[in-house]
Amino acid sequence: SRIPDLPSDTVAADKHKIVLGFSQLGSESDWRNANTRSIQEAAKEAGIELLFDNAEQSQEKQIEAIRRFIERKVDVIAFAPVIETGWEDILTEARQAGIPVILSDRAVQISDPSLYVTFIGADFYEEGRKAGKYLLDKKRNDPGPVVIAELQGTEGSSPSIERGRGFRDVIRERADMTIAYSAPADFTVAKGAEVMRGFLRESGGGIDVLFAHNDDMALGAIEAIEEFGLKPGEDIVIISVDGTRKAFEMMAEGKINCVVECNPLLGPILMQAVREIYEGRTLPKRIVPPESVFTEVLAEKEVANRQY
Ligand code: GZL
């Protein structure tokens, strides 16, 4: 017998590919590029049509991209906010257009958290605390004082603000541990090298520890430290965040002492969230990916496992 025709809208609904508009903040670091690859691969895997825009660190370009997604009437919008503030208006426009928004990787400061469905990203405050705990342990037999230099990430970004806060909350335990040099270096290798050169000139090399908010800045700082004639990982203890392969290679060479992992492979979690939102399911307000801490001891073994 003939199979009855499905009502046309059901067929159309089945045929409709979910369209996701994604505003990526840039391509400043190995972490970011791994994050982009993960999102693009996961969209393909999930059969989700991805409209992808790279704002190259410009909040204005992110806002313009989100506005284009609204005009395109995409099903879901996701974005990695380059800094925490300045998103109220564009998120209100998305709500007025009835388009749900997901935060990917970084957080925003807004008065009405109902303007986004969920924030998928690491607990940066905890990452900062892990870095601080490592340092307290590493220096437990060192009488001090301990002079610390800090390479901050993008000024006003949630990872930079929170990693700095978590680190300070832990090392506060030792009055002889002071952050004597601290400045933004935009999460990049070049800026990390430039700012570290300045710290070394200013201090005459009198720095015991470097806390870099990401691996790329740590890699740049290593160049500057070696140019200055000091040994990274020995004369200056180096603690970094992300867990990129290059950082593990440096750790295996004894040039970085501790890497706090920050997982960039958010693609699959993001696509699952997009699908659930499209199907009308409710999601938790906060989704935190799994991540760990690695020191020199584990470096050799782990370096081969790094996917980014
Ligand atoms: C953290 C992410 C940060 C990385 C940097 O989730 O936003 O931005 O730590 C990247 O490497 O540039």
What pLDDT sits at residue 290?
84
Distance CA 204, CA 207 (A): 8
CA of residue 202 to ligand 1 center, whole Å: 27
Q: Are 105 and 266 in contact (CB under 8 A)?
A: yes
> Would you write out the chain's pLDDT as a tens digit for each of its 308 residues?
455 555 554 444 556 899 999 999 999 999 999 999 999 999 999 999 999 999 999 999 999 999 999 999 999 999 999 999 999 999 999 999 999 999 999 999 999 999 999 999 999 999 999 999 999 999 999 999 999 999 999 999 999 999 999 999 999 999 999 999 999 999 999 999 999 999 999 999 999 999 999 999 999 999 999 999 999 999 999 999 999 999 999 999 999 999 999 999 999 999 999 999 999 999 999 999 988 888 888 888 888 888 88
What pLDDT sits at residue 16?
82
Atom in ligand 1 nearest the alpha carbon of residue 26: 12
Question: Can you point out the beta strands (E) in the chain?
Answer: 19-24, 49-54, 76-79, 101-104, 118-120, 146-152, 177-184, 209-212, 237-242, 258-261, 286-287, 293-295
- Between the alpha carbon of residue 229 and those of residues 193, 201, 222, 232, the distances in Å are 14, 12, 11, 10
What pLDDT sits at residue 11?
45
CA of residue 148 to ligand 1 center, whole Å: 21
Nearest CA to ligand 1 atom 1: 159
Whether the pTM exceeds 0.90: the reply is: yes
CA of residue 22 to ligand 1 center, whole Å: 17
CA of residue 71 to ligand 1 center, whole Å: 29
Residues with CB under 6 Å of ligand 1 are 28-29, 31-32, 105-106, 121-122, 159, 187, 214, 216, 241-242, 262
CA of residue 159 to ligand 1 center, whole Å: 7
Of 214, 260, 263, which is best to mutate to test ligand 1, by the most ligand atoms within 8 angstroms of its C-beta?
Answer: 214
What pLDDT sits at residue 195?
99
What pLDDT sits at residue 1?
43
What pLDDT sits at residue 15?
63
Please measure the distance between the N-terminal and C-terminal CA atoms of the chain and give it in whole angstroms: 55
ipTM, two decimals, is 0.98
CA of residue 213 to ligand 1 center, whole Å: 8
Nearest CA to ligand 1 atom 3: 159
Tokens of 196: 């570290």
CA of residue 6 to ligand 1 center, whole Å: 47
Of 31, 104, 105, 219, which is best to mutate to test ligand 1, by the most ligand atoms within 8 angstroms of its C-beta?
Answer: 31
